[in-house]
């Protein structure tokens, strides 16, 4: 059980690093784009790009968990592991694919990681929208 927790914490750390790097890159690009964000259409474009960028972070993080399941043999094929990981990370949890009993703590850790990362993304997206409508305006 301790080994499973350590591995889970390792993948969680990867997810946090991916998110931190992704948000940092996004902020750098937003700062460069800020002087050009003056119209509704341009702001909508920026928000769509931010949403796409954030979803990309999550897909990479889901992929990290899926890779763990395949490499370790907990799930035999990548498409099934990716599907299981996506429904676990997002806490949808259909239950049509399950991990072996000894791995179930990892599924819980993945779900908790997904909650935290989705919360971070929501906060980031909210900050972008708030800055766009701030009377003092952009930049970030």
Domain annotation covers residue 33 = no
Residue 128 has pLDDT above 90, yes or no: no
Q: Structure tokens of 44?
A: 């909508």
Model confidence band, residue 136 (pLDDT cutoffs 50, 70, 90): low
Domain annotation covers residue 73 = yes
Domain, as residue range, for 75: 2-18+40-132
- Number of structural domains the chain divides into: 1
- What is the CATH number for 44? 1.10.287
Domain annotation covers residue 70 = yes
- Rounded distance, CA 122 to CA 124, Å? 5
Q: Distance of alpha carbon 10 from its chain centroid, rounded?
A: 15
Mean pLDDT of 73-98: 95
pTM, full prediction: 0.88
Q: Structure tokens of 35?
A: 């002087």
Domain annotation covers residue 24 = no
């Amino acid at each position: 059980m301790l080994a499973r927790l350590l591995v889970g914490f390792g993948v969680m750390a990867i997810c946090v690093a991916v998110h931190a790097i992704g948000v940092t890159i996004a902020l750098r690009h937003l700062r460069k784009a800020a002087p050009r964000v003056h119209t509704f259409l341009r702001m909508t474009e920026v928000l769509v790009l931010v949403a796409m960028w954030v979803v990309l972070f999550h897909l990479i993080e889901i992929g990290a968990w899926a890779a763990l399941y395949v490499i370790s043999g907990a799930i035999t094929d990548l498409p099934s592991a990716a599907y299981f990981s996506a429904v676990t990370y997002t806490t949808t949890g259909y239950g049509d694919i399950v991990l072996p009993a000894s791995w179930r703590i990892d599924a819980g850790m993945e779900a908790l990681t997904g909650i935290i990362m989705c919360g971070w993304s929501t906060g980031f997206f909210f900050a972008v929208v708030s800055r766009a409508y701030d009377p003092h305006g952009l930049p970030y």
